[in-house]
Structure 1
Amino acid sequence: MAHSERPEPAAVPTAGQLIDLFALATTAYFQDFAAVAGQHGLTSTQAKVLILLREPLSMRGLAEQLICDASNVTGIIDRLESRGLVRREVDPTDRRIKYAQRTEAGDEAIRRVRADMQATQRVLADLGDDDRIALAGLLRRLQGTLDQPS
């Protein structure tokens, strides 16, 4: 490029184009996530529950996070509990409410899944520090905005 030539400014993407890019990126992530979860004997939903349980959640809270019926959550938690990956605890103030909590084995299982996500790890490793900081900031803003009721 000659000294006087300037690069063309990037076109500002439309909301639709950003949605498409976000969908493509998340689809690739979830394909990697599901494949690796399966290698560890977990369904993608079971692995997602382990991620969500970084802190104890009520069964109803899990159902809301998973956007499913509470009866489905019971089966998922039953299977994870039988493998020692989660445990249930009764709310001391209201015995009708049960909380699910990740165990140390559950912590280790989701740590291994994340570590083995080679496609995702490779893409993120290729980002420079400034890009990682920018991406983390944008994702936090998106999460905060999307978590608010409309």
Structure 2
Amino acid sequence: MIRILVVLLLLMVSPQFVAMAQTERDLQLKSEPVPPVAAVAVETAEIPRTPPNLHPSPPEPIRSDQLERAIARGIEFLIKDQNRDGSWGSAERTKDLNIMAGIGSHHAFRTAVTALCLSSLIELDEGKEPALSRAIERGEAFLFEQLSVVRRDQPS
């Protein structure tokens, strides 16, 4: 509470400090004394505190049409974001950050991300969308190619 009052006090008095700071240099050059700043006594007031709500009401349920649209957008994103080799993820898109990692970690990362994306697409595949089926086939082909290549970054 005291902090709030001090901040408010500083905000109200700050133009005086700015004016004083500007003239202080001039006064020092003239060797004249600087007038003292008036002190203000502040009495703290109690702010009524609302007790925390330990049992909040549950969130509004998501409508099924909203959920279906969100899933469709997710599928569309994954299909568009799939790499040419059938994988997802890349150690090449690092937002210009240097990533220090062992030799196998980039391959393991891409393989793990591909497995996660593929798992979600397989879960949603009903055989109705050819683009989705092609994305799944390409992802599976990538994972089968990586079986012999992927290794642990650090041997245990």
Q: TM-score, normalised by structure 2?
A: 0.24
Q: Which has the higher strand share?
A: 1
Q: TM-score, normalised by structure 1?
A: 0.25
Q: Which has the higher helix share?
A: 1
State which structure, 1 or 2, has the greater radius of gyration over its C-alpha atoms: 2
